[in-house]
Amino acid sequence: FITALARFDPQARGALAEVRALGALRAAGGPGETADADPAGAGAAQPLSLPGFESLLTDTLQVTTLAGSERINVVAGEARAGIDVRLLPDTDEKAFVGEVERILGPGFTVNVRLGSKATPPSSSTSADYRTLAAALAAPAPSAQPAPVPVVPAFIPAFTDSRFFRARGIAAYGLQPFALDGLLLRSIHAPDERIPLTVLDRGVETMTRVLRALASAPPAADPALP
C-alpha cells in the first residue's frame, strides 16, 4: 500500500503568479520569511524552493492513520488507512480518486469520508478587505516601527469559511502570528508550539483588526432593499 502510494507524483500547477509574488516577498524579508530559505533559490524565479510553497501548486496526499485488528492476538480481516488529501481548486475530485485507485491497483477500495466543493474567493477590493489590510499593515506597538505588506493568499488547508462563501457571504482568513518555517512545520505536528513573544504580538494584531472592523462604517449591501 505505502509502496504503491509512493508512486503518486503530481505536477506543479496553479496560481504561479500569486505564489511567485509571495516568494519574492519572503525572499526580500517580508512577513512569513523562513529561516531556512535559500537566498539563491528564493523569489520569483524558483518559488518552490521556499518551504511550504510546493503544496500551494500541487495536489497533496498524506497517509495519517493505519488500522487493522483491535487485538494483538487476532488476525485482521481487513486493514484501513486514512489519507489526508488537499486538492487545488481546479482539481476534479472524481478524477483524482480514480487516479488513486489506479495507483493502488486491485484489492483496494477508496471511499471519500469528507469533502467540500470549491468556493470562489472573497473579494480583495471590498471595504472589509481594505479595512483588514490597513489594520494589518500598521505595525504593532511592540514590533519594529515599519509597515508590513499585505497580500491575498491561499493556504493548503481548509476552514469553515467555505460554508459562508458557498452562501455568498464574504469570509476572510487571518493569521495574526508571524511564524518562521520551523514553527509553521510544527502546526498539527507532535511538537506544535508558539513563542510567547509571537503570541503577544499576535494578540495585539488581532485586537487592532477587531477595533478597526468595529469602527468602520457599514458597507452598503446591494442585495438589501
- Identify the pLDDT of residue 14: 55
Kindly give the pairing relationship between strand 80-86 and strand 60-67: antiparallel
Which amino acid would we find at residue 183?
L
Distances in whole angstroms, Cα of residue 44 to Cα of each of 28, 34, 123, 212, 216:
11, 15, 25, 33, 36
Which amino acid would we find at residue 48?
L
- Identify the pLDDT of residue 35: 32
- Identify the pLDDT of residue 146: 61
- Identify the pLDDT of residue 207: 92
- Identify the pLDDT of residue 62: 87
pTM: 0.63
Domain 127-215 matching CATH 1.10.150.900: the answer reads yes
Q: What is the largest CA-CA distance in the chain?
A: 69
Where does the chain hold its CATH 1.10.150.900 domain(s)? 127-215
Q: How far apart are CA 84 and CA 100, in angstroms?
A: 13
- Identify the pLDDT of residue 183: 83
Mean pLDDT in runs of 10 for the chain (225 residues)? 82 60 54 37 44 73 89 90 87 90 90 83 88 81 63 75 88 84 81 90 90 81 44
